[in-house]
């Protein structure tokens, strides 16, 4: 049996998992930093790295214990080397390097975006090729075409904010707190999409733009200080869904993929999952989604991606701007 230890510290969660070669997650433990950052309305990088330093060894011990695995049973270690916050990445990379030397294990620097991509294979997930990928997270919103598992051609990306960033900023405007994505989803469920916010770039190629949508929400709140918050949240979510689902529909029509892969933190959204399921059913395309709990950053997806790196020359160089096509 191949057992991989995956370590993710690119942003604000210290997450460590043990995953087997079939994508079964034996254990995944995550130390959240929500309490560290919530007073700032966003992530404070220097506090993030310090919190990783404090959390990483206890999280490792908790993961191995929950998985009932000892270091000698592991086959390899994978750790995020980018993209992400440099200080946070360095904590993961240096810890993993030390463990690799100490335990005599091959240790691979993993592309965080490839981690998201491979999250769709966890717990029995399948992908058929060619595939179209929508990666929608806090740091990225992009569409890519994969002829096969090894190739990746960028189809479109965002010109400004990512969709996750828009969720987080709108949550702040609505005083809903941090992190914004899950809270907006909850609140939107209790409201009605009564305001028609713009659908930026919909019907115009494969690029995205979310900063105009965010500004429209801000203007609407300035002009309607008594606005019903759940209705504003529902209207905002409706605009995001129309854009993300509309772009995927256009990509399916143009590229005729066998699978649509939807990954990244925003793929935790129940509205997005349901909308993509309807789209794929109507087009006869297989939908590949991560199990919902592995949509947001986690060690399990990094361990899963590590399976692609076994036997390659490890690259442990931290790169805060690592592009998606790079291993």
Contacts to Zn ion by CB under 5 A: 137, 297
161 binds, among Zn ion, ligand KG4, none (CB under 5 to 8 A by kind): none
308 binds, among Zn ion, ligand KG4, none (CB under 5 to 8 A by kind): none
Residue 60 phi, psi dihedral angles, 5° rounding: -60, -50
Quick one: 30 or 195, whose CB is closer to Zn ion? 30
| Beta strands 76-82 and 131-136, pairing class | unpaired
Quick one: 87 or 179, whose CB is closer to ligand KG4? 179
Residues binding ligand KG4 (CB under 6 A):
11, 137-139, 164-165, 167-168, 179-182, 185, 264-266, 268-269, 296-297
Over the range 87-104, which residues count as b (16 or more CB within 10 Å of their CB) and which as e? bbbbbbbebbbebbeeee
> Minimal distance in Å, beta carbon 214 to ligand KG4?
12
Report the C-alpha gap between 299 and 256 in whole angstroms. Answer: 32
Do 38 and 56 form a contact (C-beta atoms < 8 A)?
no
* Residue 38 CA from chain centroid, whole number: 20
> Minimal distance in Å, beta carbon 301 to Zn ion?
8
12 binds, among Zn ion, ligand KG4, none (CB under 5 to 8 A by kind): none
Report the C-alpha gap between 314 and 29 in whole angstroms. Answer: 25
> Minimal distance in Å, beta carbon 211 to ligand KG4?
14
| Beta strands 3-8 and 76-82, pairing class | parallel
Quick one: 83 or 275, whose CB is closer to Zn ion? 83
Quick one: 139 or 275, whose CB is closer to Zn ion? 139
Residue 246 phi, psi dihedral angles, 5° rounding: -60, -40
201 binds, among Zn ion, ligand KG4, none (CB under 5 to 8 A by kind): none
């Amino acid at each position: 049996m191949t057992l991989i230890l995956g370590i993710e510290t690119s942003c604000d969660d210290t997450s460590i998992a043990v995953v087997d070669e079939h994508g079964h997650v034996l254990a995944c433990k995550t130390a959240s930093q929500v309490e560290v950052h919530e007073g700032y309305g966003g992530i404070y990088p220097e506090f993030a790295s310090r919190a990783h330093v404090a959390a990483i060894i206890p999280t490792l011990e908790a993961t191995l214990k929950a998985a009932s695995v000892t270091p000698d049973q592991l086959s390899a270690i994978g750790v995020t080397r980018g993209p992400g916050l440099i200080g946070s990445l360095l904590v993961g990379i240096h810890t993993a390097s030390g463990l690799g030397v100490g335990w005599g294990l091959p240790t691979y620097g993993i592309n965080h975006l490839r981690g998201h991509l491979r999250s769709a294979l966890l717990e029995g997930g399948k992908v058929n090729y060619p595939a179209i990928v929508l990666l929608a997270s806090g740091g990225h919103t992009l569409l890519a075409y994969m002829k096969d598992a090894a190739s990746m051609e960028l189809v479109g990306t965002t010109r400004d904010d990512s969709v996750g960033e828009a969720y987080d900023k709108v949550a702040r405007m609505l005083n809903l707190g941090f992190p914004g994505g899950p809270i907006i989803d909850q609140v939107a469920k209790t409201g009605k999409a009564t305001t028609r916010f713009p659908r930026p770039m919909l019907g115009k190629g494969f690029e995205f733009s979310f900063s105009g949508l965010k500004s429209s929400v801000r203007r609407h709140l300035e002009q309607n200080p008594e606005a019903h918050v759940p209705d504003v949240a529902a209207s905002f979510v409706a605009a995001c869904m129309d854009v993300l689902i509309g772009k995927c529909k256009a990509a399916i029509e143009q590229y005729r993929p066998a699978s649509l892969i939807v990954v990244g933190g925003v793929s935790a959204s129940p509205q997005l999952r349901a909308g993509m399921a309807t789209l794929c059913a109507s087009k006869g395309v297989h939908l590949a989604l991560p199990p919902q709990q592995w949509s947001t950053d986690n060690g399990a997806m990094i361990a899963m991606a590590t399976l692609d790196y076994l036997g390659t020359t490890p690259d442990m160089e931290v790169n805060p701007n690592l592009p998606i096509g790079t291993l």
